[in-house]
Structure 1
Amino acid sequence: MGPTLTHIALHVPDLDACMAFYADFCGLRLIHQRPAKGSRIVWMAEPGREQAFVIVMMPGGTPRNLAADDYSHFGFALPSRDAVDEIAKRAQQAGCLIWSPRDDPFPVGYYCGVRDPAGNYVEFSFGQPLGPGAQPLESDGEWSSP
C-alpha cells in the first residue's frame, strides 16, 4: 500500500473565523483541539470521516491574496445543482463569492467558488466523478463520461 492523504494543515490569521466558516459552509465539525504556544491547534472533519481526512488549523498565518483566476482551491462535492446555487447565494450575501455558479465539461461539472477568511478558495461542485456517489474508474484508470 502506498501513501494515503490524511490531512492538510494551514496557518490562518483568524482561527475562530476560519473554524466558523468551515463549520457553516462545509459542514465540518471540531474533532480535536490542543493548546499550542498561547493559542490552540484544531482539527476539523466531515462527520463520519474523522479517521479518513482532517483539516488542521493553526493560528499565525497571513491572509492569502489569490487572484480571481487562480484556481488553487479545496474542493467539496454537493448533492445537487440546487445545493451549489444555495452555497453561492449564501456566499454572495456574506461577501465571499469569487466564482459564480458555472458549468464546465466533464469531469469538472457545475461549481462555484468561495473565499474563506484566510483567503483560501473553496470550490463547491456537483457532477464531478469524486466524492459520494462517484462512479468507479474504468479498467484503464479513466472515468467514463456520463
Structure 2
Amino acid sequence: MKMDIGLTHIALPVSDIEQSVQFYATYAAMKVVHRRIDAETGVAVVWLSDQTRPFVIVLIQSDSVHPVLSPLAHLGVGCPNREAMDALCERAEQEGVLLQSPKESGYPIGYWAFLRDPDGHTLELSYGQEIGLTVESNAR
C-alpha cells in the first residue's frame, strides 16, 4: 500500500466552511476533494486541492476562529501570469479582501499580493517565485 510521506496538508479553522470553500475556489483554483462530518466531534471537515501536487488545505468548521495565518504567515499560490494575478487582485479589491496590492520585489520573490480569507487568514498570490523549479533543481 502506498503511503503519504512529507508535507501533506495544513489545517485551518473556519467559521463558515462554504464561504471559505468559495474563497479558495475563486482565488486559489482549489476544489473539494473530500468532505465529511467528523464521526467523533460532529464537525464539518473539507479537504481542498488545486490538484497540481499531493497537498491539501483542511478546513475545519469552528465556532471560534483566531486567524493564525496573517501577514507575514500565509499560504502561497503561484499564478500562471501577471494578467491572471492582476485580474484576481482586481476582483479581491472589489470584494474588499485585498490586503496588499501587487508588488514587484525581484528575484526570488517575484510579483506578489496578499488577500484576506473570510476568517482573516492570509493568502499570497504570486508570479515568478520559481519555488517548484528551485525544489526540482535541488532534488537531483
TM-score by length of structure 2 reads: 0.83
Structure 1 equivalent of residue 91 of structure 2: 90
Distance in 1 (CA, whole Å) between partners of 2:69 and 2:127 is 24
Structure 2 equivalent of residue 137 of structure 1: 137
Structure 1 equivalent of residue 73 of structure 2: 72
Q: State the identity %.
A: 36
Structure 2 equivalent of residue 6 of structure 1: 8
Q: Which runs of 4+ in 1 moved over 3 A?
A: 135-139
- SS at structure 1 position matched to 2:67: coil
Aligned ranges for residues 57-68 of structure 1 at < 5 Å? 57-60=59-62, 61-64=64-67
CA contact under 8 A between 2:78 and 2:129: conserved in structure 1? yes
| Structure 2 unpaired stretches of 5+ | none
> Once structures 1 and 2 are overlaid, which stretch shifts more, 91-100 or 55-64?
55-64
Structure 1 equivalent of residue 17 of structure 2: 15
Match for 1:41: what amino acid?
Answer: V
Match for 1:46: what amino acid?
Answer: D
TM-score by length of structure 1 reads: 0.80
Q: Which has the higher helix share?
A: 2
Match for 1:47: what amino acid?
Answer: Q
CA contact under 8 A between 2:69 and 2:75: conserved in structure 1? no
CA RMSD of aligned residues (A): 2.3
Structure 1 equivalent of residue 31 of structure 2: 29
1:116 aligns with 2:117: yes
Structure 2 equivalent of residue 144 of structure 1: none
Structure 2 equivalent of residue 126 of structure 1: 127
1:76-95 per-position Cα deviation (integer Å, ceiling 9, x unaligned): 00111111211110100110
Distance in 2 (CA, whole Å) between partners of 1:62 and 1:93 is 25
- SS at structure 2 position matched to 1:137: helix
- SS at structure 1 position matched to 2:137: coil
CA contact under 8 A between 1:12 and 1:63: conserved in structure 2? no
Match for 2:73: what amino acid?
Answer: S
Match for 1:9: what amino acid?
Answer: A
- SS at structure 2 position matched to 1:5: coil
Distance in 1 (CA, whole Å) between partners of 2:68 and 2:50 is 27
How far off is 1:47 after superposition? 3.0
Structure 1 equivalent of residue 51 of structure 2: 47
Distance in 1 (CA, whole Å) between partners of 2:68 and 2:115 is 13
